[in-house]
Amino acid sequence: MSRIYERVAYIGLGLIASSMIHAGRRAGLQGEITGTARSAETRAIAREDGLCDIVAETAVEAVKDADLVVLCVPVGAMGRVAEEIGPHLKPGCTVTDVGSVKRAVIDAVAPHMPEGVHFIPAHPLAGTEHSGPRSGFAELFQNRYTLIVPDGDVDPAALSRLEQFWVGLGANVEVMDPEHHDLVLMVTSHAPHLIAYTMVGVADDLRRVTDSEVIKYSAAGFRDFTRIAASDPTMWRDVFLNNKDATMEILGRFIEELMSLQRAIRKGDGDLLFDYFTRTRAIRRGIIEAGQDTDAPDFGRGKGAKE
């Protein structure tokens, strides 16, 4: 695929940014790559590894003359970064993000975008429990979905260009409106993370089960909870604080479902439990058939197929 952007700036150099850099470099999608991070240690690692062509000390320096600016910072920091870089953006450039919440990001970032700059939010549905500039790999987005989430009218050429970029990174691309995105992601990602954090917290509080037993006897279910619960705490704090409405709606429904199962277990209603588990099992099969995971024992978590 031919080059899509001559100069790309990444603000934040963690898992997603470093994976975009590796995938984009491999596919020849981006020319000069600039980047920056809040942490001096992260910037030093990026320089040592040659992650970017230029590692800038500030976001303002990084975005100079960029054709595409990718905000890869926690959701809670998006507005501050947008305010900082807004006056320094090149006319005609595209600004996008990779945040897990969209309405809050749009409300925080859009007011700081000058006339002639195209702000097109996005969200790659890919990740691992690892973070930092050395956690990325070029295959992260392969056959994963990236949702592009424009708010209102956007320039068709800029939108098409960004879609091509994500396709070149290996992603399946779909366009979705912000409110629907936040509800869908609450079901598919945010609520599972909250439940995982809760379950690991319950195990920690249940003093009759020792830490050594939790570690030594972890079966697949609890092991997967701990994998999810190992995700970046800053990112997930910001996700829930910035997606309150969808969080409260889905948590309410989850509690209702949990109470229904509790009643079935108390009453010995095996038929209800069997039917419920059969229905939910079908969803898992659908995920595998859609190519979004594998039924292999390692759940597809080898180096080339991380979630």
Rounded-to-integer distance, Cα 16 and Cα 126, Å: 8
Residue 248: the pLDDT is 85
The number of distinct structural domains making up the chain is 2
From 142, 176, 210, give the residue that closes a domain. 176
Same-domain check for residues 126 and 216: no
Residue 300 has pLDDT above 60, yes or no: no
> Per the structure block, which two tokens stand in for 147?
């949702």
**Range 71-85 average pLDDT:** 96
* Residue 193 belongs to domain with CATH number: 1.10.3660.10
Secondary structure letter of residue 54 according to DSSP: E
Residue 302 has pLDDT above 60, yes or no: no
Q: What is the mean pLDDT of the chain?
A: 87
Residue 299: the pLDDT is 41
Count of all residues that appear for the chain in the document: 307
Do the beta carbons of residue 155 and residue 128 sit within 8 Å?
Answer: no
Same-domain check for residues 52 and 167: yes
Residue 173 DSSP SS3: strand
* Residue 111 belongs to domain with CATH number: 3.40.50.720
Q: What is the pLDDT of residues 239-268, one digit of tens each?
A: 888 888 888 888 888 889 889 999 999 999
Secondary structure element (H or E) that encloses residue 255, with its range: helix 244-267
Same-domain check for residues 226 and 96: no
> Per the structure block, which two tokens stand in for 148?
């592009």
Same-domain check for residues 26 and 143: yes
Same-domain check for residues 123 and 245: no
Same-domain check for residues 184 and 163: no
Percent of the chain at pLDDT exceeding 70 = 88
**Range 287-298 average pLDDT:** 62
Percent of the chain at pLDDT exceeding 90 = 59
Residue 51: the pLDDT is 97
pLDDT-derived band at 119 (thresholds 50, 70, 90) equals very high
Residue 112: the pLDDT is 98
Same-domain check for residues 220 and 164: no
Same-domain check for residues 200 and 122: no
**Range 111-132 average pLDDT:** 92
Residue 296: the pLDDT is 55
From 129, 151, 176, give the residue that closes a domain. 176
Among 12-26, 108-122, 292-306, the least confident range: 292-306
Residue 164 has pLDDT above 70, yes or no: yes
Same-domain check for residues 221 and 116: no
Residue 293: the pLDDT is 64
**Range 101-115 average pLDDT:** 96
What domain range includes position 252? 180-305
Same-domain check for residues 251 and 108: no
Query: CA-CA distances (angstroms) from residue 293 to 33, 108, 244?
Result: 31, 34, 29
Residue 207 has pLDDT above 70, yes or no: no
Phi, psi angle pair for 53, to nearest 5°: -70, -35
Secondary structure element (H or E) that encloses residue 117, with its range: none
**Range 219-241 average pLDDT:** 75
Residue 230 has pLDDT above 90, yes or no: no
Residue 279: the pLDDT is 84
Residue 288: the pLDDT is 67
